[in-house]
């Protein structure tokens, strides 16, 4: 049905993600081969909470984005900000004659009691545990009802039609699968992949087994830790630290010397990242009879730092790819702004835009 609707002219929904200080928008097009129709990332003044109280300001941002890029329609898929939701891994017992919804709610009721009445609940089924057919796993997303309604009210007040509120791990797995269908000839047999979505304060490790999410966990590793280390050790101002880290521009030494110094200064932070990855892979090996991942996908600004890529290649000896929707879904004649594709939250926004898009097996 999504392919038919697109063929008849109904546009795919726009992925909309409100970051801490930016509005991210992505829209796809096409049926046989999806491509990027429009992409924008606009900064806004003040905090996200202040924007939630000012639909007129969001309406102005949307007008700017629509003037800059050929977005079509007003249907959107969005998600709540990460700091407004709680994601837990839930192991629950599936009872015969009872739906997964009912089983999950029953388990949550035992844990949360009356607190559950004030929450909106969604979940993402995970790989079933073969050792016990009656036991299942899910990523459960909990959000205060008042914040869900505030988010929906903000979007509808600007004239947008909200098709769905999505789950971050599901959106990211979706963009990995769509991008993977182009990268791997054996599709739909997808490799087992680890996605590292780098954020400013924290990052997320998502394991995608074939085409299904099996694990999602947050780690205390973020872009700001790298900048803080550079600023502390080398007395670099933030702007220079960004240029040095991402563009390998020299400060007062030669480029090669700069890269070597930066690598040495950031070694403790990268070691911390390696430890978190190792914990995740050891856990997955315990669940998959010793198997490991076949590929690593990186998303977010830190993915542009060559030192991270080399670190992961040396540790795991598997292909490491940057998940960049501008590059992965570019029209044949237009590669677009590749730096925009690695901006914070852009891979997630692309995953939102892909909800309902046709997959080709």
pLDDT in tens, 11-69: 899 999 998 889 999 999 987 778 899 999 999 988 888 888 889 999 999 999 999 99
- Domain shared by 312 and 338, yes or no: no
Question: pTM higher than 0.85 for the full model?
Answer: yes
224-277 pLDDT, tens digit each: 999 999 999 988 888 888 888 876 444 444 456 777 888 899 999 999 999 999
Pair 225, 305 in one domain: yes
Residue 178, domain member (yes or no): yes
Are residues 297 and 232 located together in one domain of the fold? yes
Let me know whether 224 and 267 are in one domain: yes
How do 193-198 and 22-29 pair as beta strands?
unpaired
CB-count burial class (<10 Å; 0-12, 13-18, 19+) for 45: exposed
Within this chain, do residues 164 and 285 fall inside the same structural domain, yes or no?
Answer: no
CA distance linking residue 123 with residue 114, whole number of Å? 19
Domain count, the chain: 3
- Which residue range forms the structural domain that includes residue 157? 2-81+148-186+325-353
52 and 156 assigned to the same domain = yes
CATH number of the domain residue 64 falls in: 3.30.420.40
- Domain assignment present for residue 196? The answer is no
Q: Within this chain, do residues 250 and 311 fall inside the same structural domain, yes or no? A: yes
Domain contains 71:
yes
Claim to verify: residue 242 and residue 291 sit in the same structural domain: yes
């Amino acid at each position: 049905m999504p392919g038919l609707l697109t063929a008849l002219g109904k546009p795919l929904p726009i992925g909309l993600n409100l970051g801490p200080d930016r509005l991210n928008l992505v829209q796809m097009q096409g049926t046989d081969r999806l491509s990027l129709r429009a992409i924008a990332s606009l900064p806004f003044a003040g905090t996200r909470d202040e924007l939630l109280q000012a639909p007129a300001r969001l309406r102005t941002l949307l007008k700017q984005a629509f003037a800059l890029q050929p977005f079509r329609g007003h249907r959107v898929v969005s998600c709540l900000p990460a700091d407004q939701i709680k994601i837990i891994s839930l192991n629950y017992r599936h009872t015969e004659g009872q739906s997964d919804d009912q089983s999950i709610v029953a388990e949550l009721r035992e844990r949360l009691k009356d607190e559950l009445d004030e929450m909106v609940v969604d979940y993402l089924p995970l790989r079933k545990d073969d050792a016990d057919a009656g036991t299942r796993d899910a990523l459960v997303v909990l959000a205060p009802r008042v914040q869900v309604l505030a988010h929906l009210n903000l979007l509808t007040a600007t004239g947008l039609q909200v098709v769905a509120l999505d789950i971050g791990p599901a959106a990211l797995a979706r963009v990995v699968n769509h991008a993977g269908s182009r990268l791997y000839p054996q599709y739909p047999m997808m490799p087992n992949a680890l996605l590292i979505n780098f954020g400013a304060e924290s990052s997320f490790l998502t394991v995608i087994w074939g085409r299904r999410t099996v694990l999602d966990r947050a780690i205390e590793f973020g872009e700001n830790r790298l900048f803080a280390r550079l600023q502390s050790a080398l007395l670099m101002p933030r702007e220079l630290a960004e240029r040095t880290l991402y563009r390998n521009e020299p400060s007062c030494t030669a480029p090669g010397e700069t890269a070597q110094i930066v690598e040495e200064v950031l070694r403790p932070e990268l070691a911390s990242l390696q430890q978190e990855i190792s914990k995740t892979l050891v856990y997955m090996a315990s669940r998959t009879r010793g198997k490991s991942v076949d590929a690593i996908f990186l998303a977010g600004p830190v993915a542009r730092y060559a030192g991270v890529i080399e670190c992961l290649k040396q540790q795991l000896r598997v292909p490491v790819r940057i998940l960049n929707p501008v590059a992965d879904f570019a029209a044949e004649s237009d590669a677009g702004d590749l730096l925009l594709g690695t901006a914070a939250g852009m891979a997630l926004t692309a995953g939102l835009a892909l909800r309902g898009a046709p997959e080709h097996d």
